[in-house]
Every structure is written in C-alpha cells, then in structure tokens.
Amino acid sequence: MSKEKIPYKIYLEESEMPKSWYNLRADMKNKPAPLLNPATKQPMTAHELSAVFCDELVKQELDDSTRLFDIPQEISDFYKMYRPSPLVRAYCLEEKLKTPAKIYYKFEGNNTSGSHKLNSAIAQAYYAKKQGLKGVTTETGAGQWGTALSMACSYFGLDCKVFMVKCSYEQKPFRREVMRVYGASVTPSPSTETAIGRKILAEHPGTTGSLGCAISEAVEVAVSSEGYRYVLGSVLNQVLLHQSVIGLETKAALDKYGEKADIIIGCAGGGSNLGGLIAPFMGEKLRGEADYRVIAVEPASCPSLTRGVYAYDFCDTGMVCPLAKMYTLGSGFIPSANHAGGLRYHGMSSTLSQLYDDGLMEARSVEQTKVFEAAEQFARVEGILPAPESSHAIKVAIDEALKCKETGEEKTIVFGLTGTGYFDLVAYEKFHNGEMNDYIPTDEELAVYREKLPKIG
Amino acid sequence: MSKEKIPYKIYLEESEMPKSWYNLRADMKNKPAPLLNPATKQPMTAHELSAVFCDELVKQELDDSTRLFDIPQEISDFYKMYRPSPLVRAYCLEEKLKTPAKIYYKFEGNNTSGSHKLNSAIAQAYYAKKQGLKGVTTETGAGQWGTALSMACSYFGLDCKVFMVKCSYEQKPFRREVMRVYGASVTPSPSTETAIGRKILAEHPGTTGSLGCAISEAVEVAVSSEGYRYVLGSVLNQVLLHQSVIGLETKAALDKYGEKADIIIGCAGGGSNLGGLIAPFMGEKLRGEADYRVIAVEPASCPSLTRGVYAYDFCDTGMVCPLAKMYTLGSGFIPSANHAGGLRYHGMSSTLSQLYDDGLMEARSVEQTKVFEAAEQFARVEGILPAPESSHAIKVAIDEALKCKETGEEKTIVFGLTGTGYFDLVAYEKFHNGEMNDYIPTDEELAVYREKLPKIG
C-alpha cells in the first residue's frame, strides 16, 4: 500500500519473465468458432492456412487445447532487449483524481516500435525465418505494427513488405521513415500493386483506405510470391497467444506484491492488447479460481463490440481471407478517417468476441475528444505521452477511479498502456486546435454493412 | 560475463537509487574558473546571479567544495516515475561486431522528453516553485530540453516560456506540439519579442538561429519579467550536478555485478550528459582510487574541444550572460544548420573544459554521415532508434570495440545513450536519401570568431 512498499515501477527480474505463452482458449468452455474457407464454408484446414501463414503459426492458430507454448530461446533473447515492461503504479494520477482506488498500468511503449506489437512481431518473424522463408507481407494502420514487424524482420534478416493504410501513410511520414531505418518497404494502401487494390481504387477513387483493405493487398502479395507468407498484428488466435506475455508479466508483478486486480481495462481494436493483457486473469475466471471485471474500450466511431453483431464475416475488405466468427460491423465498413487512433478495424478477435458473448467481459465505447482529454490529463501527471489507442483505456480507467471516489471503494484498477503517442502529434494538434471530430456512425449507416454480411449457418 | 549472470538490462531497485547528487568539482584540484560579470570582469556574486537564476540554484552553481547535495523528496518522487533508467548490456551489438569488448549503455530515453534532460529540468522547476516564482524561461535547440522543462513545469504548476532555435522549430513541429501538451509556450528564435532578437534579426536577416542566440532571448525575458527566472539545460555547474544521477546509477549498476568500466564515452554539446555520466568515475580518478579513459565526442561541425581555445567567452550570442572560461569556438560562431543533432553549442561546460585542459579526458570529433551509419547499425541490432546526439557516442563506442577486436582486448566500454530519435526523422530521411551534409568549418572561419573573443586576464 505505502510508497515504501510498492515501487512506482515494478520490473520483474529476467528470471521471472514468462517462459511460456498462455493459450486462453484451452480454458474456454465455449471455444471461439473456427475460421471458415470462404468458398466451401467448411473449417479451414492446416493445409489451407499454410498457403497464407507459416506452418508453426498455423499450428498455434488451430490449437485450442494446449494451455502453454514454450517461448523459443531466440525470442526470449529478443524479449530481453525491451522486456520485462514496467507495471507502473499511477501514484500521481491517483493523487490528482483524489481517488481511493489503486491504479496500475502495464506500459508497453518502451521500445522503438512504441507499442506492444513487437511481442508478436518477433515471434512471427522467428517462425518465418525458421521455415526458411525469404520474407513476409503485412498491413499496418497507425503504423505501430508495421514498425514492430520491420524491427523483427531486420533482426532475423527477413524481407518485409508493408501495406500502410493511406490516411496513416499521409499523416505519418515519420512512421514510414522508421520502417526504412529497419529496411522495410512501405506502400500506401489501396495501391495499384495488387488486383484487389486496383479494384478498390476503381470503386472508391477517393478512399483513404482501411485495415481490411490493406490486409487484402498484403495477403494477395504473400500468396502470389515465392517464399513469402502473410503475418497479421491482431485479431488472430496466434497473436493473442504471443501477447499473453503482457498479462503474464502483469499478473506476476501484482502477485509479487500481493496485489489483486478488481478491474482490468484495455483498448480494443482487433483485440491484440486486450486479449494478451487479460489472458491469465480470464483464465482464473474461467477456471472459477478468481473473479475480475474486464472492460474492453473501443472508439465510438468504430464500435464493433457495442454496436456490431456476432456473426461470421470476412476479415478483410477484399474477401480473400477466411471467414471468422466475431463481433463485426461488416467487412465493408470503413471507419471515419477523422479517428486518430489505430482502433479502426471492423471486427474483433474471435476469442474476445466469444468471451463477450458469454458475458465474461464488458465493453464500452468512448468519443475521441474525451479520449484526448484523458490523454492530456494523464500525460501531465504521469509524464508519459500516451498513444490515442491506449488513451481509450486511460479514459475508462479514470472514469472507474472517479466512481470509486464517489463510493469510497478502494478498488485495484489495472489498465494496458499499449504505447506512446510520438507519432500521433498531428492528432494532438487537432485536439489543441479544437478541430477534433467526434463522428459516430448512425444506425442507418451500420445497417447498410450489416445487411451485406455473408449468410452462414 | 555469461548471459545468465548479467541481464540484458540492469534496473536498480528504487531503494538503490541515489539519495544525493555528486558535485564533481569538490574533488577537482584545479577548480573550474568562476563566472565573470561581463561589465566588471569580476567573479559573479550570488546576489548578481540571483537576478537570473533561482536562489537555491545559485548556491549549487557557486559551491565547489560540498561533495554531496541531498535530492529533495519531491524530486526523488518524480525521478521514480521514469528512473532508475536501465543500464543495458549490448549483447546483440557485441555479437554483430564480433568484439571481445563488453559494451554497456546507460539509456536515458525512456521518458516522454526522450532524453536525460528531465533529470535537471525537474530539479530546476522544483527550486523555482519553492521560491514562489510564477514561471521560468529557457531556450531549446533540438527540443529535448524544452520538452523536459515543459513536463517539469506542468508537474509543479509553473508557467514555461521556451525560445526554440528557429531551424529546429521549423524542422520539428511535433516537438512544439509535445510542449503544448504540457502547456508551455514556444517561440522560434531569433524572435521579435526581445530587443536582442530584433537586433540579431536586423544583422542576420536569414539566420536559422543558434542556442547562443536563444539563450540571450530567454535571459532577457526572465530578467525583465516579474516572478520569472531563467533556467538552462546544459553547460552550468548546477546542471552537471543534477545529471550526476546518470553516472551514480551507472556506477551502482556496474558495481552490483562486479563490472569495472575501462572506457567511458559520451556525446558532448554543452556537456550535461557527459558531465553527469562521468561524475563518479572521474571522482575516483581525481582521488586516485581508479583509472578510466573518458572520451567526449563532438560533431566535426561544432568542434569546441578539439578545435576551440580555452578562454573566457560569453555563453550567449547576445553577450548578456556572464562570461565563462571554457573551450569555445567564440560566441559568434553559429554552427551549420545542416547538422541534425542538438550538439550545436559554441562552448563547453567549464567543469569539463578544465578536466580536458588538465589531460583527464580525451575528445574526438566525428562527421555526421558516420554518426548516422552508426545509429542505423545500432538500431537494427539493439532495437532502439537513437537520437543523433547520442549516436555520436555510439560511433566512438563501436570504433573502440572494433579496436578491441583487433587487439583481442576484453575491455569494458560504457557509453551514454542520451535519448531517442523519434523527433529526428527528417534527419534520418536525409541520411537515407544521401542528402546528409558533412560540412566542417575551415580554420579561416574559426579564426574569425576566435579573434572576437573577449580579452580577459
């Protein structure tokens, strides 16, 4: 409790770092629904998936019964360059809010990619290298995933081809330059380099792109190039598996100081951070060993959990990827370019969708201006300039801490601070200039895309 | 020695963090020369200095006999938000270079200001607040100091007015935006807001500014505004005192693992990082308890130690500040705007100048392209995207490690990685595009400014 007892920042020793990733699906009674082949509507086989993904990652993707996967030594060594990440006790924020709540955040921004994305990037690059591939393709939205993958590929000597959502490409030239430091090639999406890109450009000439569209392009290039596979930074089971390192470290750090979380909060775009952060806690909840409130926070401009439907849908705009059962707004939904964060994906990880559908998790959507207000409040007392994505979690953590102030409850709130906002200063500038857009899609707009969902089962 | 024994990153416990700053001057036989009043040419008194600086900081500035200054609790608490900083064992760089040398770097970039500057900023803001001031003024070059001071002022609720060297202001709009997050006002220098700014603009209409010029403006505003003082991020004794926290942590971390440094390397602009990093090591050297090679690295475009003279000079272009005895290129020297790093100051801290003059320290100058080559090599193996300033130290650390490879010596090299390069991507872009400028001033150019040095004693 006292400042003497719990440090501002809890760093685990290297020897305390997780040796395995935890596969949350193994403890789920209702397993996430399988990916379907879009042509046959049958579950994707390992053989089919291996045209797109590395063999080892296909195994991880399909395995919903093995609880622990060993982290290979090469990946552990790389993790040690930037992990363990600190679990920070937000003493200054608590004092500012005058809340009896104890607030912790797991800060994943202390690496050059600026976010948690590196945790899965290095794993995926490792398996690609191990398989003897030449390179990988991917998409990136806000640019964090692309940067992370560039770093990982540079480390293992793999070629890296990134399709970057056009509006981010234009708003964030420096992101592209960082990827260049690590030797990646970066193409704004939609591009004329792929058939699907050309098709989308013909249909929507002025489009600023979307993650779903960039995914289609990256997959097309991967399957049509010798020695290449596609890698994805979120949504997939394998990504959540790798990201479990966040939650495992968080829990180990809390356990070390005898602290127990009451509320766990994370921002949710495709679900990579939230899925990783909550994994071991949700595991305990599923096994009936402990209870936690888990809150997913999404932007009001792209509200897949709070306003989407739970159905099979395409993961990409071009409909070249398998179908996933998830909370979705429809694969044709292209979120407002005015939203600054990277949480602009039409769907949500199948695992998180199933947990949400089973009532094991809450969801909340927040508007952009409120998010930046929380971000600035946080930056001024805790020092760290947060990414807009992470600031969604900050907003709800502050809301929950203020509720504790009203009720007098001394709850322990843990949230994921996924990254830094150094490459989001155009958005901060808009916020300072009062030019931020709080656009929320209407029910009518959402209905248009919902009606186009594929009809399955 | 083995990976098992020494972790990739050594984090001290909070309880192992320094409780005091170490005043290197107390152990120097030849003390740094006192600041002189430019009018009387007599040593500046505490009374005179207190028109410009906070009272407590004046005491620290003038005290060359007290060895330790307690770090106040409020500053310790703030330090705990981002310190201890990691001492990183560069296993991956060692492996890449195939050197028998052991390489460590003290990484000061894991805070939002992106550099070590916050260590002194929070101290100076604290003493300003304690004295009941309304606010402070300062200058910033590359922007790291201005950001750090903005954060510190925001924390203590002080007004913060920053004069930013014009070429950086234009090249780094996002830096300005970060300062805005923390509520600071930022003015490009030279500006029309001050008499000295107007004078410089009249004499050099196309000037891109310099640190010396921005200092003049900030001092003018401080002394002419009620309740304001001036604060400086480098050069001064007080700054080196606060920055000793870097070296104290570094030494404590090495001691903890039984490691002894052979060579200590730091980049040097005004000397804040180098002076802090080497403090406890140089203390041992001065007391005859141990020996170390210390190497200051400066840009070939602004070579104050390697090509300057040791003489009294003005600290600022406008000649409103006291005179300091230092290695200097002349206060009229305005370094090439093509140099990307923040090491663009015409002089060097009096303390470091005296140590250099006494033969206790070496100096080396390096050209910009070589610095960026080293930066990129480092980024690709160690993950961290380094600031151009820090990369000067990386370049020489690599050179020394390669010498060890030739000789087979297993030396322990420690260098200061002062910050991250997230706001230097325009420079990285120039480097990638082959547009980097390696301009080095000619002897004739340097002679022009040398002849204008004030004639003292």
pLDDT in tens, B286-329: 999 999 999 999 999 999 999 999 999 998 878 888 999 999 99
**A&B contacts, CB < 8 Å:** 111
pLDDT digits (tens, 9 = 90+) for B239-271: 999 999 999 999 999 999 999 999 999 999 999
Rounded to an integer, what distance in angstroms lies between the CA atom of residue A10 and that of residue A432?
A: 33
Q: In chain B, which residues have their Cβ closer than 8 Å to the Cβ of A77?
A: 3, 91
Nearest CA in chain A to B382: A81
What pLDDT shows up at residue B35?
95
Indicate the pLDDT class of residue B362, thresholds 50, 70 and 90.
very high
- Could you tell me which residue, B177 or A124, shows the higher pLDDT? A124
Residue contact A383–B82, C-beta within 8 A? yes
pLDDT confidence tier of residue B423, bands split at 50, 70 and 90:
confident
CB A285 within 8 A of CB A122: no
Residue B45, by phi and psi: left (phi above 0), alpha (psi -120 to 50) or beta? beta
- A83, A34 contact by CB (below 8 A): no
Chain B residues with CB under 8 Å of A179 CB are none
CB A416 within 8 A of CB A393: yes
DSSP letter (8 states) at residue B363: E
The pLDDT confidence band at residue B2, using thresholds 50, 70 and 90, is very low
pLDDT of residue B316: 83
Whole-number mean pLDDT of chain B? 94
Average pLDDT value over all residues in chain A:
94
Q: Is the pLDDT of residue B333 over 60?
A: yes
pLDDT at B142: 79
Q: Are B254 and B414 in contact (CB under 8 A)?
A: yes
DSSP string, A57-84: HHHHHH-SS--EEEPPHHHHHHHHHH-S
Phi, psi at A66, each rounded to 5°? -75, 125
pLDDT(A1) > 50: no
Q: How confident is the model at residue A2 (pLDDT cuts 50, 70, 90)?
A: very low
Confidence of residue A188 (pLDDT cuts 50, 70, 90): very high
Q: Which pLDDT score is estimated for A4? A: 52
> CB–CB of B227/B204 below 8 Å?
no
Tell me whether B381 touches chain A (CB under 8 Å).
Answer: yes
**Backbone conformation region of residue A185, classed left if phi is above 0, alpha if psi is from -120 to 50, else beta:** beta
Using CB atoms within 10 Å of the CB of residue A15, give its burial: 0 to 12 exposed, 13 to 18 middle, 19+ buried. exposed
* Residues forming a β-bridge with B21: B69
Euclidean distance between CA atoms B329 and B446, whole angstroms: 7
* Residue A15 DSSP label: G
Indicate yes or no: CB of B111 within 8 angstroms of CB of A380.
no
pLDDT at B457: 65
Least confident range from A55-64, A153-162, A171-180, A247-256: namely A171-180
A11 interaction partners in chain B (CB closer than 8 Å): 11
What is this structure's pTM?
A: 0.93
The DSSP symbol for A288 reads T
Q: For B196-225, what is each residue's pLDDT tens digit?
A: 999 999 999 988 888 878 989 999 999 999
Quote the CA–CA distance of B7 and B227 in Å, as a whole number.
Answer: 48
Choose among A360, A431, A377: nearest CA to A96.
A377
ipTM of the complex: 0.90
Helices (H), A163-316: 166-171, 173-181, 195-203, 211-223, 237-256, 272-286, 304-307
Chain A residues in contact with B155 by the CB 8 A cut-off are 92, 380-381, 383
Indicate the SS3 state at residue B415.
Answer: strand
- CA nearest neighbour of A387 among A351, A342, A323: A342
Q: What CA–CA distance (Å, rounded) separates B210 from B446?
A: 16
Interface check for B312 against chain A (CB to CB < 8 A): the answer is no
DSSP, res B43: B
Return the amino acid letter for B272: S
Closest CA to B278 of B241, B243, B250, B247: B247
Average pLDDT over residues A309-329: 91
* A359 Cα to chain B: minimum distance (Å): 36
- Lowest mean per-residue pLDDT among A242-251, A437-446, B82-91, B168-177: B168-177
Residues of B in Cβ contact (< 8 Å) with A6: none
- The C-alpha atoms of residue B352 and residue B297 are separated, in whole angstroms, by 12
* B8 to chain A, closest Cα gap in Å: 6
Band (pLDDT 50/70/90 cuts) for residue B178 is: very high
Q: In this complex, do A7 and B80 lie within 8 Å of one another by their Cβ atoms?
A: yes
Q: How confident is the model at residue A173 (pLDDT cuts 50, 70, 90)?
A: confident
Residue type, A30: N
Average pLDDT for B379-387: 93
* Type of residue numbered B300: A
Alpha-carbon distance of B34 to B63, in angstroms, equals 10
Q: At B362, which helix (H) or strand (E)?
A: strand B362-366
DSSP letter assigned to residue B172? -
Angstrom distance (rounded) from CA A340 to CA A390? 12
Q: Report the alpha-carbon distance of residue A206 to residue A199 in Å, rounded.
A: 13
What pLDDT, on the 0 to 100 scale, is given for residue B4? 52
CA-CA-CA-CA torsion for B231, B232, B238, B240, nearest 10 degrees?
150
Chain A partners within 8 Å of B110 (Cβ): 110
More confident call, A21 vs B439 = A21
* Gap between the Cα atoms of A139 and A162, Å rounded: 5
B325 beta partners: B312
CA A220 to chain centre: 23
Across B418-431, average pLDDT = 91
As a whole number, mean pLDDT of residues A133-138 equals: 98
Contact between chains at A380 and B182 (C-beta distance less than 8 A): yes
Sheet containing A135-140: give its strands across: A185-189, A159-165, A135-140, A228-230
| pLDDT surpassing 50 at residue B342 | yes
pLDDT at A412: 98
Quick one: what percent of chain A has pLDDT higher than 70?
99
Interface check A178 vs B, CB under 8 A: yes
Peptide bond into B441 cis (omega under 30): no
- pLDDT interval class at B173 (50, 70, 90): confident
What is the b/e burial string over A292-315, where b = at least 16 CB atoms within 10 angstroms of the residue's CB? bebbbbbbbbbbbbebbebbbbbb
Q: Can you give the pLDDT at residue B211? A: 80
Alpha helix ranges (H) inside B209-270: 211-224, 237-256
What is the per-residue pLDDT for A170? Answer: 86
Q: Is the link from the previous residue into A173 a cis peptide, with omega within 30 of 0? A: no
B 43-102 → A contacts, CB under 8 A: 77, 80-82, 88, 91-92
B155–A380 C-beta distance less than 8 A? yes
Going from the N-terminus, what domains does chain B have, and what CATH number goes with each? 30-69+116-230 (3.40.50.1100), 83-114+244-450 (3.40.50.1100)
Would the CB atoms of A110 and B110 count as touching at under 8 Å?
yes
Tell me: pLDDT of A457 over 70: no
Q: What is the phi/psi pair of residue A245, to 5°? A: -60, -30
A20-29, A445-454, B316-325: which has the minimum mean pLDDT? B316-325
Least confident of A56-65, A271-280, B138-147: B138-147
In this complex, is the C-beta atom of A447 within 8 Å of any C-beta atom belonging to chain B? no
- For residue B246, give both structure tokens: 């870097």
Pairing, β B102-107 against β B412-417: parallel
| Pairing mode, strands A228-230 and B362-366 | unpaired
Mean pLDDT of A56-66: 98
